[in-house]
Structure 1
Amino acid sequence: MTHARDVASAARNADAAENARAAESARAAANAAENARAGDADAEAVARALSSPLRLRILRLCAFDARTNKELAELLDVNPGTMLHHVRTLADAGLLAADPVRRGTRGAREVPYRATGLSWNAPVPAASVLILDTMREQLVGVDPEDVDVTWMGLRLNPVHLDELRERLGALFEEFTSRGPDADGEAYSLVSVLHPDLNPPAA
């Protein structure tokens, strides 16, 4: 009789352990799903924040130096109220981070913002069009003689195309990893590589 009770008790314990494992697995799956939804929402927020040439220019201005809403508005010739909306959008998406509060020349409370670098590898729909639109805005007021331009046609097989991409990427990474020069001036570099409607002659 005792043996039968022991067997029944062991079976109940095994069932309880199995139920506990199943419950834990369900909780883990629910947490994973929730995290995935949160990740998707974060990615969507970042993509929305990066969908504006003006906001890309704000990030560029805050890449090396922390700047206040007032400073950004003056540099980009934008109404301070409009600028505040864009700054908050970038901050809410984690693309700008606030530095410690400081006092302005008249003692006013100012919050400088610095780019977090999150935008560097963030996926953005139609990024090529967005970057080119941003570049056009940045070139307004720049003397054409101060702009270095190279435009060439290439005919490359897949191996050489990969080689070109890798070498360009390595060059950009090298200069980026050096960080800004203490005595340097600001420059913008845009690289565009695209299929060309130029097939071989028949």
Structure 2
Amino acid sequence: MAELKALGHPLRWRILRLCLDQALTNQQIAQRLEMSPATTLRHVRALVNTEFLEATEVRTGARGSLERPYRATRRTRGLASLDLDAAELVQQMDLALLSAHRAELAQAGPDASRDLARGVLRLSEESQAELRKRLADLLAEFEARDEPDGEPLSYLWSIALRP
């Protein structure tokens, strides 16, 4: 339950995204998100406490002061193993993820290339399971490529029942 609460804020998803490819200090995170360091530190601590973010070795900063960088643990890949019985917390996490993705789109600016599609499918439970598996396999295939010189891309895949 603590994990779902930790992922229930869009800023925390953005912090995890920033710290995915490189370890960043709280000050660096705050600058990139245009937030105060005190605000981001509260979110960083919540992510560290739930092991979605880990502190790396203390290093000497540009001005000689000691600083602690943080790196995402990629633990969010195992969300299916979390206790998803708390429907309200799951919905809060889903909405936080959507909000974080929206903020990243806005921050990327109007010239960022995007591919976006929205539609409605009518599928049986069996076909839904097949769709989820095939998409998971496809994403895993591309994630495994790990092209160091590749451009970081953000994606969001969501299935929602229509009201």
What amino acid maps onto 1:125 in structure 2? V
**What is the CA-CA distance between 1:145 and the residue it aligns to?**
5.8
- Give the Cα separation in 2 of the matches to 1:111 and 1:145: 32
Match of 1:105?
62
Match of 1:135?
101
Residues 94, 168 of structure 1: alpha-carbon distance in 2 compared, 3 angstrom cutoff: same
Helix, strand or coil for the counterpart of 1:182?
A: coil
Residues 145, 88 of structure 1: alpha-carbon distance in 2 compared, 3 angstrom cutoff: closer
Residues 86, 196 of structure 1: alpha-carbon distance in 2 compared, 3 angstrom cutoff: closer
- Give the Cα separation in 2 of the matches to 1:111 and 1:83: 14
Q: Does residue 1:115 correspond to 2:72, yes or no? A: yes
Radius of gyration: which is bigger? 1
**Is contact 2:13–2:96 with CA below 8 Å preserved after alignment?**
no
Among 64, 71, 93, the residue aligned to 2:21: 64
Larger helix fraction of residues? 1
Give structure 1 stretches of 5+ with no counterpart: 1-43, 198-202
**What is the CA-CA distance between 1:94 and the residue it aligns to?**
1.4
Match of 1:189?
155
Residues 169, 113 of structure 1: alpha-carbon distance in 2 compared, 3 angstrom cutoff: same
TM-score in terms of structure 2 length: 0.84
* Identical amino acids, percent of aligned pairs: 37
State the superposition RMSD in angstroms.
1.9
Helix, strand or coil for the counterpart of 1:97?
A: strand
For 1:134-184, what per-residue CA distance to the aligned partner results, in whole angstroms no more than 9, with x for missing partners?
2112122321662211223333333333222211111011122333x2112
| Corresponding residue pairs, total | 153
What amino acid maps onto 1:171 in structure 2? L
TM-score in terms of structure 1 length: 0.69
**What is the CA-CA distance between 1:195 and the residue it aligns to?**
2.8
Match of 1:78?
35
Residues 152, 125 of structure 1: alpha-carbon distance in 2 compared, 3 angstrom cutoff: closer
Match of 2:138?
171
Greater RCO, 1 or 2 (C-alpha within 8 Å, sep 6+): 2
Q: Does residue 1:153 correspond to 2:110, yes or no? A: no
For 1:77-101, what per-residue CA distance to the aligned partner results, in whole angstroms no more than 9, with x for missing partners?
1101111111111112211111111
